[in-house]
Amino acid sequence: MTYLNINSVKKRKYDAIVVGSGMSGGWAAKEFADKGFKTLILERGNKAEHNVDYPTTNLQPWELEHRGRMPDKIREENPIAASCYNFHEGAAHFFMKDDEQPYVQESPFQWIRGNQVGGKSLLWARQTQRWSKYDFEGPARDGFAVEWPIGYDDIAPWYDYVENFVGISGNKDGLDSLPDGDFLPPHEQNCVEKHFSDSLRQNFTDRHNIIGRCAHITEPRQIHYDQGRAKCQHRTICERGCPFGGYFAANSSTIPWALKTGNATLQPNSVVHSIIYDEKKQKAKGVRVIDSETMKMTEYFADVIFMNASALATNHILLNSKSDRFPEGLGNDNGLMGKYIAFHNYRAVISAEYEGFMDKKTAGKRPNSSYVPRFRNVYKQETDFLRGYAAGFQASRNSQNGYDGVGVDLKNNLEKETWGPWRVGSHMMGETIPKEESYVRLDKTLVDKYGIPQLSVNVNYDDNDEKMIQDFKEQFTEMYEKAGFTNIRPGENGRVPGNDIHEMGGVRMGKDPKTSLLNEWNQLHACKNVFVTDGACMTSTSTQNPSLTYMALTARAADYAIKEMKKGNL
Q: What is the pLDDT of residues 380-390, one digit of tens each?
A: 999 999 999 99
Report residue 250: phi and psi, to 5°. -60, -35
Report the alpha-carbon angle 555-558-562, nearest 5.
140
Q: Domain of residue 480: give its range.
A: 190-212+344-431+461-496
pLDDT, position 5? 63
Overall average pLDDT of the 15-32 stretch: 98
Q: From the CB of residue 68, how many other CB atoms can be counted at a distance below 10 Å?
A: 16
Report residue 309: phi and psi, to 5°. -80, -5
Burial (0-12, 13-18, 19+ Cβ within 10 Å), 529: buried
In this structure, are residues 505 and 538 in contact, taking their beta carbons and an 8 Å threshold? yes
CA-to-CA distance for 213 and 106, rounded, in angstroms? 36
pLDDT at 196 over 90: yes
Overall average pLDDT of the 326-348 stretch: 98
Host H or E run for residue 454: strand 453-458
pLDDT at 485 over 80: yes
CA-to-CA distance for 26 and 189, rounded, in angstroms? 32
Best CA proximity match to 356, nearest among 198, 545, 164 = 198
Coil, helix or strand at residue 559: helix
Report residue 432: phi and psi, to 5°. -100, 155
CA-to-CA distance for 537 and 518, rounded, in angstroms? 7
Overall average pLDDT of the 255-269 stretch: 98
Helices 133-142, 152-166: crossing angle, 10 deg rounding: 140
Overall average pLDDT of the 468-485 stretch: 98
Burial (0-12, 13-18, 19+ Cβ within 10 Å), 494: exposed
Coil, helix or strand at residue 485: coil
Tell me, yes or no, whether 35 lies in a domain: no
Count of helices and strands (H, E) across the chain: 12, 22
In this structure, are residues 527 and 330 in contact, taking their beta carbons and an 8 Å threshold? yes
CA-to-CA distance for 479 and 485, rounded, in angstroms? 9
In this structure, are residues 278 and 285 in contact, taking their beta carbons and an 8 Å threshold? yes
Tell me, yes or no, whether 439 lies in a domain: no
Best CA proximity match to 200, nearest among 165, 227, 173, 221 = 173
pLDDT, position 408? 87
In this structure, are residues 140 and 147 in contact, taking their beta carbons and an 8 Å threshold? yes
pLDDT, position 189? 97
In this structure, are residues 427 and 490 in contact, taking their beta carbons and an 8 Å threshold? no
In this structure, are residues 479 and 498 in contact, taking their beta carbons and an 8 Å threshold? no
Tell me, yes or no, whether 295 lies in a domain: no
Beta bridge partners of 401: 417
pLDDT, position 50? 97
Overall average pLDDT of the 107-124 stretch: 97
In this structure, are residues 109 and 457 in contact, taking their beta carbons and an 8 Å threshold? yes
- Could you tell me if residue 63 is left (phi over 0), alpha (psi between -120 and 50 degrees) or otherwise beta? alpha
Confidence of residue 6 (pLDDT cuts 50, 70, 90): low
pLDDT, position 9? 81
Report the alpha-carbon angle 426-112-165, nearest 5.
75
CA-to-CA distance for 96 and 397, rounded, in angstroms? 35
Share of the chain above pLDDT 70, in %: 99
CA–chain centroid gap for 291, Å, is 26
pLDDT, position 411? 86
Report the alpha-carbon angle 507-510-512, nearest 5.
110
Best CA proximity match to 142, nearest among 434, 339, 346 = 434
In this structure, are residues 334 and 50 in contact, taking their beta carbons and an 8 Å threshold? no
CA-to-CA distance for 116 and 98, rounded, in angstroms? 15
DSSP state of 567: T
Tell me, yes or no, whether 238 lies in a domain: no
CA-to-CA distance for 354 and 383, rounded, in angstroms? 30
In this structure, are residues 538 and 343 in contact, taking their beta carbons and an 8 Å threshold? no
pLDDT at 1 over 50: no
pLDDT, position 402? 73
CA-to-CA distance for 106 and 123, rounded, in angstroms? 27
Tell me, yes or no, whether 70 lies in a domain: no
Mean pLDDT of the chain: 96
In this structure, are residues 538 and 518 in contact, taking their beta carbons and an 8 Å threshold? no
Complete DSSP assignment for 378-439: SSS--SSSSS-EEEEEEEEEEEEE---SSTHHHHHHHH-EEEEEEEEEEEEEEEPPP-TTSE
Tell me, yes or no, whether 19 lies in a domain: no
pLDDT at 203 over 90: yes
pLDDT at 403 over 80: no
CA-to-CA distance for 516 and 497, rounded, in angstroms? 23
pLDDT at 2 over 50: no
User: Please, which residues have CB within 8 angstroms of residue 164's CB and are 6 or more apart in sequence?
Assistant: 182, 221, 223
Helices 152-166, 547-566: crossing angle, 10 deg rounding: 100
CA-to-CA distance for 525 and 568, rounded, in angstroms? 18
Tell me, yes or no, whether 356 lies in a domain: yes
In this structure, are residues 69 and 82 in contact, taking their beta carbons and an 8 Å threshold? no
Overall average pLDDT of the 330-359 stretch: 97
- Return the C-alpha torsion angle 120, 121, 123, 128, nearest 10: 120
pLDDT digits (tens, 9 = 90+) for 275-295: 999 999 999 999 999 999 999
pLDDT, position 323? 98
Host H or E run for residue 169: strand 168-169
CA-to-CA distance for 455 and 440, rounded, in angstroms? 7
Host H or E run for residue 344: strand 344-345
pLDDT digits (tens, 9 = 90+) for 137-165: 999 999 998 999 999 999 999 999 999 99
Tell me, yes or no, whether 139 lies in a domain: no
pLDDT digits (tens, 9 = 90+) for 307-316: 999 999 999 9
CA-to-CA distance for 227 and 250, rounded, in angstroms? 11
Q: How many domains does the chain have?
A: 1
Share of the chain above pLDDT 90, in %: 93
